[in-house]
Structures are given as structure tokens and as C-alpha cells.
Amino acid sequence: MFRLRLLPETPAFEFLNKMNFASGLSVLLVIGSIGLFFIQGLNLGIDFRGGILIEAQSSQKVDLAKVRGSLGSLGLGDMSIQSFGTERDILVRVQRQEGDEKAQIVAINAITTDLGSDFEIRRTEFVGPTIGAELAEKGVLAVICALFAIMVYIWFRFEWQFSLAALIALSHDVITTIGIFALTNFEFNLATVAAILTIAGYSINDTVVVFDRVRENMRRYKSWSQPDILNRSLNETLARTVMTSITTALALIAIAVFGGAVLRDFALAMLWGVAIGTYSSVFIAVGIVSRFDLSRSDDDNSVPIPEYEREGKI
């Protein structure tokens, strides 16, 4: 029976030899992401900057160019019109209009009238600037609280060195994800905040699996050097990490392709998160842990280094 094998049966990759290169790459990614955030900024959605969102469905295939030209002539300012789901569905996003709530209602009526009877208005939302600022503040607070809670959990479950490594790795994932949104100009909204929190959960899950194996091997292979133990732990969990990432990525690709515009940005953020989370679990979290002298248990259950690991380094 044919079995797909993506990795050697007994991998013996020398991960720690690549840590300096990985550290340099990560520093560049973080600096670049911070630079893009301050120079280019994020394409904030209506959730954060306020505005009008209208979802409509036509009785026939929508000519987006014609709709854009027609609605653009209304003079309502910054406007985004895109299809989603099927070729008959559109999303209209309009900047917040000057004035009070009545001004927003006038704009909504103007749009619905211009679309005409061929379109059925299925959803209308308006987010004011005060609510948008509050949502942005709570979004940032949610990410910070999640990172802090994860740090405390890792601290109690392992040691403070592991907690520090996990926090730095997760911060790396969050910052680079924000950098990707600044680079691509994808809309940054509440769904993106949910994606960032999901990325943090996915990444820490991988990291905890590796940390568990490191702690187990620190007790089992007392005669080994710490770099050998860390390399073995990474190799033993590598197959699980790779297969989990691939199967998750396949599901996210399907969402990005068939989910339409509403789910596309979320799926793309998650795809990046799966890739960067896997990378940070292997190279960032363990790389930082390798800088510390980890404690070992007092029992003597030393196991010799296998021959294939002593001679077959990759």
C-alpha cells in the first residue's frame, strides 16, 4: 500500500545550526512589519474607522464596472464595491458621511435607490466613529490579554525560560501578520483580529507540543548535551508539526478560493499564520530556549545517543 512520506522515517536535521540565520530573518521580518505599519498603515475596515456597509443580491449576474460607475457618481466619498459568494451578490462599503445619523440614512437611501429594483437589500450596517474607536481599542486589548494569559500558562506548566520564549515567538507571529496586512493592503477588520487570536492559539499549540518533548527528553537523556536534546525533540515532533500545518492549510485554501470576499482576508491571514506559527515554534521558541541552561531531573535514566543521530546528521 502506497503511503505519502514527506519526511525521512527517522529525521535528524540540525535545526540549532540554522538558528542564527533564522534569528536574523525574524529580526528583518519584525522590523519590516513595524516599518510598513507606521509608513503605509493598515487598510482599516468599517469596523474600526466607521462607515456604511450594504449587502445586496441581484436577480442576475452583476456587472461590477457598471455598478461602480453608477454609485461613484453619487459623490459619497471613498467607496468599495466587490462581489462575494456568487456572481449575483455584492458588498458596498462607503465612508462615514459628514453629519449625524440622518446623513448616513440619506446616503443609504441614495445607494439603495440607485441600485434599483433589480437588487434585494439583504443587510445594512452603520458603524459610528466612537464605536469604531472602541472596537479598535478592545481588539488591541484582546490580543494583549491573550498573549499575557498564554505567557502565564506556559510559566506555570514549564519554566520561566519557556514562557519568555513562547511570548517572543507569539509576538513575532502577531507583528508579522500585521505587517502582511500593511504590505498587501487587505482590509483589517474584526475578522482579522479573530484570525490573529486564532493564529496565536495555533502557534502556541505547536510550541507546547515541542516544549513537552523537550522537557521529557531533558529527563530521559541526561548524558546528552542540551543542543542534542533540543534537536532530537524537534525531529521527534517534526512529522506531527508538518502534517498538522499541511492539513490546516488545505482547509484554509478551500475557504480562500470558495469562501468569497467576506472570508478571503480571514483565510489568507490564517494561511500566513499557519506558516509563520510553524516556523516560530521550531526556530524562534526553541532557539530562544537554547540560550538558557535548562534544569534536569535528579533521576539517572540516561540513554545513549543512537548511532544514526551520531553519524547521520542532516
Residue 7 lies in a domain: no
pTM of the model: 0.72
Domain C-terminal end among 127, 151, 180: 127
Reported as a single tens digit per residue, the pLDDT across 199-228 is: 888 888 888 888 888 888 887 877 777 778
Higher pLDDT, 302 or 141: 141
Residue 99 has pLDDT above 70, yes or no: no
Per the structure, the count of domains in the chain is 2
Report the mean per-residue pLDDT for the chain: 77
* CATH number of the CATH domain containing 84: 3.30.70.3400
Q: For residue 5, tell me if it sits in a domain.
A: no
CA distances from 202 to 172, 174, 176, 248 (A): 14, 12, 15, 10
- Is 301 in the same domain as 169? yes
In angstroms, the CA 78 to CA 43 distance is 12
Query: Would you say 124 and 179 are in contact if contact means Cβ atoms under 8 Å apart?
Result: no
Residues 210 and 262 placed together within one structural domain of the fold: yes
CA pair distance 2, 11, nearest whole angstrom: 20
pLDDT, position 68: 79
Of 89, 106, 127, the position where a domain reaches its end is 127
224-283 pLDDT per residue, tens? 777 788 888 888 888 888 888 888 888 888 888 876 666 777 788 888 888 888 888 888
Separation between Cα atoms, residue 290 and residue 232, nearest integer Å: 13
Q: What is the CATH number of the domain that holds 219?
A: 1.20.1640.10
Identify whether 79 is part of a domain: yes
Is the residue at 2 inside a domain?
no
Q: Could you tell me if residue 68 is inside a domain?
A: yes
If you compute the radius of gyration of the chain from its CA atoms, what whole number of angstroms results? 25
Q: Which domain holds residue 87?
A: 51-127
pLDDT at residue 279, as a whole number: 87
Domain presence at residue 9: no
Q: Annotate 95-108 with DSSP letters as a single string.
A: EPPSSSHHHHHHHH
